[in-house]
Amino acid sequence: MQNKLIDLTHILNEKITAYPDTEAPKFEELNNVAEHGFAELKMTSVLHVGTHIDAPCHILKNTKSLDQFPLDKFIGNAIVIPCQYKEEISLKYLQSYRDQITKTDFILFFTGWQYKWNTSGYFDDCPVPTIEAAKWLTKFKLKGIGFDSFSVDKIISAKKITSENMPNHYILLEKEFLLIENLTNLDKLPGSLFSFQCLPLNIENADGSPVRAMAMLPATFMTIA
């Protein structure tokens, strides 16, 4: 029986929601088939746009860029933890998933913010782990965590990032967790383990990268929604 693929990636265009004080991507048609015999688009963008990964060197000096990780860092088993009705992701709540967390490579947090993509509501405060919860996650052999929202921390201006106002970034990136942001379609995933991948572009010294994140599921499964 054939596996089912679920695309967890927002499409990139000039109208997507961009993080405060950063730029959305820009596209320019350099050539087209009618005039030049071939089509070619030019894309100008920061690396932290759309569905993307943060590397440790995005925040921390003298740490790894994405190209310094082996490919298997971006592939593994995953679980979804629903938190769309939470104000915060507490340690106590995460501890109720301890058994599943010990068996997985990635945790994807379903906050419900995927439904607010490309609206002003996407900038509202969404559920993020408490500092206590983030520190607890570092005890596990996780490759990374992901969100259907902007960040593992509360949204602030990109011009004002410090360890005080983005503590979870510092805690998790120091342990070489991948942080996958702006995922979508998490409501279409099962409540059990599934195969997940989020391969970045192979860019030298990349502090981040857009990804094509996807889940591979058995043909029959039950969603978390």
195, 210, 194: which is closest to 18 by C-alpha?
210
pLDDT beyond 60 at 17? yes
Confidence of residue 165 (pLDDT cuts 50, 70, 90): confident
Pick the CATH number of 4-11+47-217 from 3.40.50.720, 3.40.640.10, 3.50.30.50, 1.10.3470.10: 3.50.30.50
How far CA 61 is from CA of 41, 57, 206, 207, in Å, comes to 34, 6, 13, 11
What letter does residue 66 receive in the DSSP assignment? G
Q: What share of the chain is helix, strand, coil (3-state, %, to 5)?
A: 20, 30, 50
CA distance 169 to 163: 8
pTM for the structure as a whole? 0.92
At 61-90, the pLDDT tens digits run: 999 999 999 999 999 999 999 999 999 999
Instruction: Read off the tokens for 5.
Output: 């693929």
* Amino acid identity for residue 59 in this structure: I
Instruction: Read off the tokens for 2.
Output: 């054939």
CA distance 143 to 117: 26
At 26-51, the pLDDT tens digits run: 999 999 999 999 999 999 999 999 99
Confidence of residue 162 (pLDDT cuts 50, 70, 90): low
Q: Which segments of the chain are extended strands (E)?
A: 4-7, 26-31, 40-44, 52-54, 75-82, 106-110, 144-147, 178-181, 194-200, 208-217
At 119-153, the pLDDT tens digits run: 999 989 899 999 999 999 999 999 999 999 998 98
At 176-213, the pLDDT tens digits run: 999 999 999 999 998 889 999 999 999 999 999 999 99
Domain ranges of the chain: 4-11+47-217
Burial 70-106 (b: 16+ CB within 10 A, else e): eeebbbbebbbbbbbebeebbeebbeeeeebbeebbb
